[in-house]
């Protein structure tokens, strides 16, 4: 997906394909996207975000390294990929919006710093941390044991994946038996693919039918397949699935689980170079916005309340290293 492709453009494609006809609309005057006929769940995708803002907390700001305090800015790396609702371009095709930007701004406010964002490719997020170009990254980075060798983490959201099915399917997914014999799409090379393959193998060993796994290149392809009945469900990142449910109004979440599978609850974290002296300040700032309620407001705004954490954890257990 082009880094400058807004959700409006995505929905235009879906409407042209007949997927969102009379279901999802983007209001050009309000810059709001909502299911057709609904006025209370619109998601603002315009450049004027009216972000929830915080105030400096001196005791937390004092935990910052002196050089960062004196500079007055917090240099943050963000993934250039357009990924609603985490980080994407508004209807002006210039302004970066999303939950990650909102949360990073709140953290910077609490630290008394001005956030300075730079969008780069995924691999360059870590290059930027390694070279100290970035003070931190808030861009859907999962804590892993391998990454903990080079980076420090302060968690701010759960890392979940979700099964999305047509609205009214009457179907819930809690474990492998619930997907036996079902046709489910998933993105190739992802952790959710591995989980689905493992579940399918577990079903076969238990004498149940395997999962019929389908792969699509683009989001629009699986949306269309879902609505036409060619697949029973899609398994993907919980944030994007929740966002599609809220904006299109034709599907529902029928099950969620940790992005790490059964072994450990995956967690998303503010990421900084190991021993940079920043991680405790990040953790304290996250705890503050959780306590004052602004954190919950941001997650609710973007449909991510089900991924909320009760407090930030510094370098918690992460996804285990994979065997070579």
pLDDT tens digits for the chain (324 residues)?
Answer: 333 344 444 444 443 343 443 334 444 445 666 554 444 446 889 999 999 999 999 999 999 999 999 999 999 999 988 788 999 999 999 999 999 999 999 999 999 999 999 999 989 999 999 999 999 999 999 999 999 999 999 999 999 999 999 999 999 999 999 999 999 999 887 878 989 999 999 999 999 999 999 998 787 888 899 999 999 999 999 998 988 888 888 999 999 999 888 778 999 999 999 999 999 999 999 999 999 999 999 999 998 998 999 999 999 999 888 765
Q: What is the edge-to-edge ordering of all strands in the sheet holding 73-79?
A: 114-120, 73-79, 136-137, 267-273, 151-158
Angle at 285 between CA 280 and CA 286, to 5 degrees: 100
Distance, CA of 230 to CA of 225 (rounded, Å) = 5
Distance, CA of 71 to CA of 219 (rounded, Å) = 41
Q: At a CB cut-off of 8 Å and minimum separation 6, what does 119 contact? A: 3, 78, 79, 80, 87, 96
Distance, CA of 287 to CA of 187 (rounded, Å) = 34
Q: What pLDDT score was predicted for residue 27?
A: 45
Contact 221, 188 (CB under 8 A): no
Distance, CA of 153 to CA of 271 (rounded, Å) = 5
Length of the chain: 324
pTM: 0.82
Contact 183, 155 (CB under 8 A): no
Distance, CA of 242 to CA of 203 (rounded, Å) = 27
Give the bridge partners for 7, in sequence order: none
Distance, CA of 310 to CA of 92 (rounded, Å) = 35
């Amino acid at each position: 997906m082009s880094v400058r492709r807004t959700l409006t453009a995505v929905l235009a494609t879906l409407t042209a394909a007949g997927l969102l006809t009379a279901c999802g609309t983007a209001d050009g005057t309000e810059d709001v996207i909502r299911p057709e006929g609904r006025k209370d769940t619109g998601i603002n995708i315009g450049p004027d975000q009216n972000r929830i803002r915080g105030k400096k907390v001196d005791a937390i700001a004092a935990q910052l390294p002196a050089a960062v305090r004196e500079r007055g800015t917090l240099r943050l790396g963000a993934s250039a990929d357009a990924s609603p609702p985490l980080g994407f371009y508004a209807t002006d095709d210039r302004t970066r919006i999303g939950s990650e930007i909102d949360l990073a701004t709140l953290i910077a406010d609490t630290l008394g710093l001005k956030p300075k964002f730079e969008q780069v490719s995924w691999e360059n997020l870590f290059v930027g941390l390694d070279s100290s170009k970035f003070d931190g990254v808030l861009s859907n980075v999962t804590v892993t044991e391998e990454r903990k060798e080079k980076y420090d983490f302060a968690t701010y959201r759960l890392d979940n994946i979700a099964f999305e099915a047509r609205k009214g399917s009457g179907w819930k997914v809690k474990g492998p038996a619930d997907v036996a014999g079902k046709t489910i799409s998933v993105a190739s090379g992802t952790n959710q693919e591995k989980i689905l393959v493992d579940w399918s193998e577990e079903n076969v060993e238990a004498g149940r039918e395997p999962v019929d796994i389908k792969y699509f290149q683009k989001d629009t392809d699986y949306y269309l397949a879902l609505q036409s009945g060619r697949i029973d469900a899609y398994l993907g990142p919980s944030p994007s699935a929740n966002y599609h449910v809220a904006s299109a109004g034709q599907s529902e979440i029928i099950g969620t689980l940790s992005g790490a599978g059964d072994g450990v609850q995956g967690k998303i974290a503010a990421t900084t170079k190991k021993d940079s002296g920043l991680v405790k300040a990040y953790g304290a700032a996250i705890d503050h916005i959780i306590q004052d309620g602004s954190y919950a407001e941001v997650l609710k705004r973007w449909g991510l309340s089900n991924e909320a954490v009760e407090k930030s954890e510094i370098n918690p257990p992460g996804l285990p290293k994979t065997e070579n």
